[in-house]
Amino acid sequence: MADFISLPEVNSTSTWLKERAADFDGPVVVSTDCQTGGRGQRGNSWEAEPGRNLTFSILFIPKGIAPARQFFISEAVCLAVVDVLRRHLPQPDEVRVKWPNDVYVGDRKICGILIEHSLESATAIRHTIAGIGVNVNQERFLSDAPNPVSIRNITGEETPLKPLLEELVSAVFANLGEPAESLHARYLATLWRGEGEHPFATPDGKTFTASIADIDPSGVLTLRRTDGSENRYLFKQVRFIL
C-alpha cells in the first residue's frame, strides 16, 4: 500500500515530502510526534500537542485523474477520515465533512486536511500530497482556534496512535479506488450543514443566509439564498459563520 516513515520532529510533514518527492517512486506516509509548523487552510497554523495526536502526510500518484477532476481526491481523503472516526466515536452521525475538506463532530473541528498537487501538465497530476491532522488524545487546546475537539474530549479514553494511523491510510487508498460518482454522492450525503439555511460571509465582510444547493464534482459550492437566487463559490470566496 505505502511505505511508512516516522520522524521524531519536523516543521511540516507535507513540506518534508514536497522537498523529497522525487526520491520516491511509490506512495509514502510520513508521520511525526512533533510538528512545529503544521499548516492549515487559509494560511492558518495547526495546533497539535506533541505525541498526543496524528500529524501525517501521504504522497501518492493519482492515476487517471485529470487536474480538472482533482476534487475527487479531496473527497476520498475527507471521507476516509469520516469513515474511520465514525467507527471510533459514540455518535457516528455527528461526524461530517465541512466543505471543502475539514472534518467536524457536531460543530467542532476534529480534523484539518490540506491537499496540494504538483502538475505534470495541464492534463496530468505528477503527484499529490495530502496533509492530515487529527485531534486524538489532546485534552486542552491553547490556540485561538474557535472550536477544536479531540477523540479523547468526546470519549474520555486514550486512543493508540499507530493503529489509528494505519486504519486512516488504508481507508484513504480504499476510497481512491471507489468510482467517482458513488464517492461524490457519499460526500454530498455527509456534508456538515448540508440541510437547512445557515449564515455565510464573503471576504468583504458581507453576511447572508443560504442553504447548500449543490457541490459539483470540481468542488464548486452552490448556495441558494432565502430569496431563491443561487451563486457559485470557489474555496476562499465564502465561509461558514460558526
Parallel/antiparallel/unpaired status of strands 102-105 and 95-98:
antiparallel
The predicted structure's pLDDT at residue 38: 63
Full DSSP string of 6-51: EES-BS-HHHHHHHHGGG-SS-EEEEES-BSS-B-GGG-B----TT
> In a 10 Å sphere around its CB, with 0-12 CB exposed, 13-18 middle and 19+ buried, how is residue 140 labelled?
exposed
Place of cell 506512495: 27
User: How far is Cα 131 from Cα 230, in angstroms, rounded to an integer?
Assistant: 32
Query: How far is the C-alpha of 36 from the C-alpha of 38, rounded, in Å?
Result: 6
Phi, psi values for residue 209, rounded to 5°:
-110, 135
The radius of gyration of the chain's CA atoms, rounded to the nearest angstrom, is 18
Dihedral of the CA atoms 183, 211, 133, 171 (nearest 10)? -20
- For residue 200, give every residue at least 6 positions away whose Cβ sits within 8 Å of its Cβ, in sequence order, or none: 207, 208, 209, 210, 223, 238, 239, 240, 241
Cell of 193: 450543514
* pLDDT given at position 47: 78
Task: Based on DSSP, count helices (H) and strands (E) in the chain, helices before strands.
Answer: 5, 12
What is the reported pLDDT for 82? 98
* Residue 104, C-alpha cell as written in the block: 467536524
The partner residues of 45 in beta bridges, in order of sequence, read: 39
- The residue with cell 479506488 is 177
Tell how strand 3-7 and strand 230-233 pair up: unpaired
Q: Which residues of the chain are under the pLDDT cut of 70?
A: 38-46
